[in-house]
Chains A and B, each alone.
Chain A
Amino acid sequence: MFRFIFGRLAVLIPTFLGVSLIAFSFIRLLPGDPVMLMSGERVMSPERHTELMHQLGLDRPMYIQYFDYLGGLLTGDFGSSIVTKRPVLDDFVNLFPATLELSLCAIIVAIALGIPAGVLAAVKRGTWLDQSLMGVALVGYSMPIFWWGLLLIIFFSGYLGWTPVSGRISLMYFFPQVTGFMLIDSLISGQAGAFKSALSYLILPTVVLATIPLAVIARQTRSAMLEVLGEDYVRTARAKGLSPFRVIGVHALRNAMIPVITTIGLQVGVLLAGAILTETIFSWPGIGKWMVDSVFKRDYAVVQGGLMLIAAVIMIVNLVVDLLYGWVNPRIRH
């Protein structure tokens, strides 16, 4: 087991280097530079521009900047924002809980609805139920997130007035940040109505963010279940006189989970990418919105650092998925 984990960790090193190179170079491919954008509408003299670029160290050769950056990474220094001057890591730590809360809720919804939907579609294969579930899943999968988010806002917030449009909680409530998760902090604060308010703000972004992973998980579960339901051991389980619930829910599902867990792991990347759009639509103060703002401001340090940290999160999740995989499938463990 240690060997397995060690092997997985060793693969992370080249991945991490690759991501750092991509993060570093791609943001620099965009036209414009942070100093130019800082000056805004005002005209800046070329001398002043050169001076500021020098101050920020952006006039040095590219490879020196890269190795400087890499050296910082190795000591845990992700640099500071060119715009706000705050350390990137501090901002990330402050903002990440908001994204994590939204992503966790979304993946929980996606798993909680996607797996049963997939199982049901597989068990009722070829019926109207199967076709409608998979039809809805296809629509969900094909829907552009931003458009779907806008539709929901127009209908539920605008037309019905059920949910708020943007933010994380009503301005009426204020409490100290303990976990960074609004749902939990609002409960800890003990303020009446705070939890309900936090929940009402969370619902629409969660639905929007969960849609694509939900559709993917449902479709993957269906196909994995269909394959497993034809296996000999499922027939054996039925020949033992087990209830259909146990045959499907224990014997078939455990085997079908092997590819589904891989899919769920891959969806975490999709989820964080989706979070960027969702947070922008709902003004959700998480890392997605933070990253988008930084790209517009050419805040190199934030974009680089943010990408590295997001990549780290995805790599950790993938490692956990690999470990889970071994747990679900004993053939890998032994």
Chain B
Amino acid sequence: MPLLEVKNLTVEFQTASGPFRAVDGVSLKVDEGEVLAIVGESGSGKSVSMLAAMGLLPWTAKVTADVLTFNGRDMQAMSDSDRRKIIGKDIAMIFQEPIASLNPCFTVGFQIEEVLRVHTDLGRKARRDRAIELFQSVGIPTPEERLGHFPHQMSGGQCQRVMIATALACNPKLLIADEPTTALDVTIQKQILDLLMKLQAEYGMGLIIITHDMGVVAETADRVIVQYKGRQIESADVLSLFENPKSVYTKALLSALPENAVGGRLPTITEKLTDAEIFAGALR
């Protein structure tokens, strides 16, 4: 049984000019201990599909799916309060902008202990001990002192470590990392990515990494899903995707990597392909 299974997920937003389909028929499976990467350009519906799976989209979004299960439980049939018992505990999520993702009005200690208060029976002292332990495991120095700090007193990389610690607080089965390194500078990107992979192996959890960085995909993923304009273009294990991409879009995406640039100009995708050509090879 897969940890997360999604079949034919569609998300529509009501806009002034009629409904807009942000995700169109996305299907995916993630097993325990597996790392799945979802890649695509901005606006390809990567984040929206994951937010939809977690039930975090605003009410203006209309979400439908043939199957949407977590650990065998139907997330669509579940009441909101039942879903909240899973979210933050068994499925955790970290986001692109670590500083903006932490509440500026509360200490990071409060924010990490809050998850423990909601999802566990731990007392005040035990929650604090667990928070210190989590901070240590994500490599935050002097955790006792850091717990009393506000997000604006920490760097972006440290905030992302706090986010990761918060996500891991209840030993989740699945972690969704939505562009976890995009807002960080390159040296910190590497550190955070290494940390994520180390913790993924340590906790044995499923990990979905949403990214537009093929380098991140190559370094981390077991399997890859390529999305374009809300539709899935290709799904493959990481080796075959890099060695033998099936879709013209994936080929173009790989050739658009800066290291593949020929001459002084970076290749782009849209100047080579039309939507019709891209969707011709789509999975649905």
Contacts and interface: CB of A to CB of B under 8 A. Distances in A.
Nearest to A258: B105
A231 B163 CA distance: 16
Given A232-B97, A330-B105, A240 B114 contact: yes
A55 B119 CA distance: 79
A251 B111 CA distance: 10
Given A242-B84, A242-B114, A243-B84, A236 B104 contact: no
Contacts of A242: 84, 88, 114, 118
A329 interface: yes
Interface residues of B, number: 29
Interface in A221-275: 231-233, 235-243, 246, 251, 254-255
A42 interface: no
Contact of A239 (B81, B88, B119, B152): B88
B87 A241 contact: yes
Contacts of B103: 233, 236-237, 251, 254-255
B73 interface: no
A239 B54 contact: yes
B153 A239 contact: no
Interface of B: 54, 56, 81, 84-89, 92-93, 95, 97, 100-106, 114-115, 118-119, 150, 152-153, 163, 166
Interface residues of A, number: 21
Interface-centre pick from B54, B89, B106 (highest chain A CB count, 10 A): B106
Nearest to A233: B103
A334 B106 CA distance: 13
A120 interface: no
Given A232-B101, A254-B106, A330-B105, A240 B166 contact: yes
Given A243-B84, A255-B105, A328-B105, A233 B100 contact: yes
A331 interface: yes
A238 B84 CA distance: 8
Contact of B92 (A235, A239, A254, A328): A239
Name A's interface SS: helix
Interface of A: 231-233, 235-243, 246, 251, 254-255, 328-331, 334
A240 B88 contact: yes
Contacts of B118: 240-242, 246
B100 A329 contact: no
24 contacts: A232-B101, A233-B100, A233-B101, A235-B101, A236-B95, A236-B102, A238-B87, A239-B54, A239-B88, A239-B92, A240-B114, A240-B118, A240-B166, A241-B87, A241-B89, A242-B118, A251-B103, A251-B106, A255-B104, A330-B104, A330-B105, A331-B150, A334-B150, A334-B153
Given A233-B103, A243-B81, A255-B104, 12 more contacts: A232-B97, A233-B104, A236-B101, A236-B103, A240-B88, A240-B114, A241-B88, A242-B88, A255-B105, A328-B105, A329-B105, A334-B153
A238 B57 CA distance: 10
Contacts of A329: 104-105
B102 A233 contact: yes
A264 B254 CA distance: 56
